Structure 1
Amino acid sequence: MLTITDDLGSQHIFDQTPKRIVSLVPSLTETLYELGLENEIIGITKFCVHPYHLKSVKIIVGGTKNVHIEKIKALNPDIIIANKEENTLEIVDSLREICPVFVTDIVTVEDTLKTINDFGLLFKRTTDAKKWTEKIKFANDDFASFMQDKKWQKAAYLIWREPYMAAGSETFINEMLKLNKFENMYELFEGRYPEVEIRKMRIQGDPDLVLLSSEPYPFKEEHAFEIGRVTHHAKTVFVDGEMFSWYGTRLFKAFQYFKALQNRIEE
């Protein structure tokens, strides 16, 4: 018997190791796969794109904000993996009538490590979980050493257009910005993803860098030009949104990406 508490404080008791998993969180679907649980994953969202082949062999149960309850019920899962930000409370409450819903709440590197360890306990993959947490800790320490002599730069991280929206406080993206010594000019704005006016960027923070994420909005060159006309000296940089927003085992790859990004910015 296993008793484990999720990040919302809900206690879950399992007589047996859960064998049928529905994952509603793309980055955690990838994490479950990396922990050797491909056969146990039975349902995923349409946004679960890593590893790519899962979409052709697993049942798609909808998106992260709009799931097909009956389709999930028909899969007869033992556990559903959800996330406080990715999935609404209404969805989680509805799914609790089917089986236990393990809800994660991930903002920091430490939260990521905890989730991987929790999965190790939940699914009897403690050896794999330890391997991944040690790899991420090493990569984190290595990147911290790499950044030691770097100077802080003021930055804006944009995730959407029409209206423009930025990453704010209490987000995983904001924590990744800090690791890169990017001072988030929107950290003190109200809301986790505040709407912003790019024409006010100079008077509100005058950033050194404007980072344009590849997701959820696919920024293009014309958008960089539009922003450049009002920010003047700020350097506009396209960044891989997955590396800044996907927690879980993806974080290991992110640290290598951040090194390359830092070198690119210095060119």
Structure 2
Amino acid sequence: MNLTDQLGTQHTFETSPKRIVSLVPSQTELLFDLGLEEQIVGITKFCVHPFHLKATKKIVGGTKKVHIDKIKELQPDIIICNKEENTLEMVEELCQICPVWVTDMYTIADNNKMIEDFGKLFNVRTEAQKWIDKINFAHQDFLKFIAPFEMQKVAYFIWANPYMVAGNNTFINHLLELNKLENIYAHNEKYPERYPEVIVQKMRIQGDPDLIFLSSEPFPFKDDHAFELGRYSHHAKTVFVDGEMFSWYGSRLIKAFDYFKKLRLRIGELHLHHSHSH
């Protein structure tokens, strides 16, 4: 079986890989949802969905730093990584153990490709197709829902001290666009990085958002961050959002579309209320 991963690396497998180490939380959840729980042998400490896996599978470290020896002991047939979550050095080192399959995620289409690839790799094509169909249906349904909404400008914060945001060429930005939210930092030549550190004091002149999103992960934002950031905008509403819904790919997207509907309605109410008070 010859298959090419999302980095263009070609892999050859005699038989479908049976022992899987997954180093990406959202992909661990997807593997479980594809019915592959038995085949998963190793995960990271950040693989929190489904919750019971932490008790039943070997934890081999985090997403940036793993215990190579622990992975070797598990004798995996395949290790699943992601270009953004895991480092190149890590991937190169892991390649000495067994094939390392790397995903690369910018869009919903990339996500569907990953699910399709996993279907072929692990011989669960029917299950994979079911998830792709569900995601496509939810996606189309969401496009209808979002159509009447007006475009609003947003800043999506992922870190404080220093303040960092999601920029261009990120899965988060793709989902913001889907929500008809224009990311003020996405096409700003001052901030070409994907997750730039920004000067919040310049937020007004650098785009003046209608909304400031504070992601629940990877940084635990508090009310004082919300107040501080709010002061640097003219009128932005500061909203705490579920980071998993904006940054996890895989089967979680199904839950994300429902979450976005509730979020947009909640923001919509704020928006209407706001415009009446002038």
TM range (shorter): over 0.9
Q: Which amino acid aligns with 1:74?
A: E
State whether structure 2 residue 145 is matched by structure 1 residue 159: no
Query: 4+ residue stretches of structure 1 with deviation over 6 A?
Result: none
Q: Which amino acid aligns with 2:21?
A: V
Instruction: Report the counterpart of residue 15 of structure 1 in structure 2.
Output: 14
Question: Identity over the aligned pairs, expressed in percent?
Answer: 65
**1:217, 1:137 → 2: CA distance?**
31
Which residues of structure 1 form unaligned runs of 5+?
none
1:266 Cα deviation from its structure 2 partner = 1.3
How do residues 183-198 of structure 1 correspond to structure 2 at under 5 angstroms?
183-188=182-187, 189-198=191-200
1:13 Cα deviation from its structure 2 partner = 0.8
**Deviation per residue, 1:48-104 (Å, 9 max, x gap):** 000011001100000000011011001000000000000101000000000000000
State whether structure 2 residue 59 is matched by structure 1 residue 60: yes
1:232 Cα deviation from its structure 2 partner = 3.2
What is the SS of the residue equivalent to 1:131? Answer: helix
Instruction: Report the counterpart of residue 111 of structure 1 in structure 2.
Output: 110
Cα-Cα RMSD: 0.6
What is the SS of the residue equivalent to 1:157? Answer: strand
What is the SS of the residue equivalent to 1:244? Answer: helix
Instruction: Report the counterpart of residue 276 of structure 2 in structure 1.
Output: none
TM-score by length of 1: 0.99
What is the SS of the residue equivalent to 1:204? Answer: coil
How do residues 216-227 of structure 1 correspond to structure 2 at under 5 angstroms?
216-227=218-229
1:220 Cα deviation from its structure 2 partner = 1.2
Instruction: Report the counterpart of residue 89 of structure 2 in structure 1.
Output: 90
How do residues 63-142 of structure 1 correspond to structure 2 at under 5 angstroms?
63-142=62-141
**1:227, 1:204 → 2: CA distance?**
14
TM-score by length of 2: 0.95
**Deviation per residue, 1:234-259 (Å, 9 max, x gap):** 11011000000000110111000000
Moved more, 61-70 or 222-231: 222-231
**1:99, 1:228 → 2: CA distance?**
49
Which residues of structure 2 form unaligned runs of 5+?
270-278
**2:33, 2:109 → 1: CA distance?**
18
Give the alignment partner of residue 203 of structure 1, picking from 197, 202, 205.
205
**1:26, 1:228 → 2: CA distance?**
32
Q: Which amino acid aligns with 2:259?
A: Y
What is the SS of the residue equivalent to 2:212? Answer: strand
1:199 Cα deviation from its structure 2 partner = 1.2
What is the SS of the residue equivalent to 2:232? Answer: helix
**Deviation per residue, 1:15-68 (Å, 9 max, x gap):** 111000000000000000000000000000000000011001100000000011
Count the aligned residue pairs. 266
**2:256, 2:185 → 1: CA distance?**
22
**2:115, 2:47 → 1: CA distance?**
18
**Matched-pair contact (CA < 8 Å) for 2:208–2:234:** no
Instruction: Report the counterpart of residue 149 of structure 2 in structure 1.
Output: 150
Q: Which amino acid aligns with 2:65?
A: N
**2:232, 2:186 → 1: CA distance?**
21
